[in-house]
Amino acid sequence: MPADEIVARRALVAGRVQGVFFRDSCARRARAEGLAGWVRNRQDGRVEAWFEGRPQAVENLLAWCRQGSSQARVTGVEVAAERPAGLSEFRVQ
């Protein structure tokens, strides 16, 4: 995919998002969409994610983050546009 067709977004997801399979579910969905990046728990109780790939696939994952896994209770999502880092896989950190 040409580099000019790749976007990157950082998401900070608040609510009950740790200990409810959020990261694992997020990684499965990101891989299914063909995205690269990562997802990790933060000390402040939020989950942070980096999505990199086709614009529509990234938007699909951001929309999913607003709902979360079946046991999650998302109360807010902050999204920031970032410069793509050239990642090639999606990992749970």
DSSP H or E run through 33: none
Catalytic site residue from 10, 28, 31, 41: 41
Active site residue 41: yes
Active site residue 54: no
**Distance separating alpha carbons of residues 68 and 82, to the nearest angstrom:** 22
Catalytic site residue from 23, 28, 40, 83: 23
| Residue 88 CB partners (closer than 8 Å, separation 6+) | 36
Active site residues: 23, 41
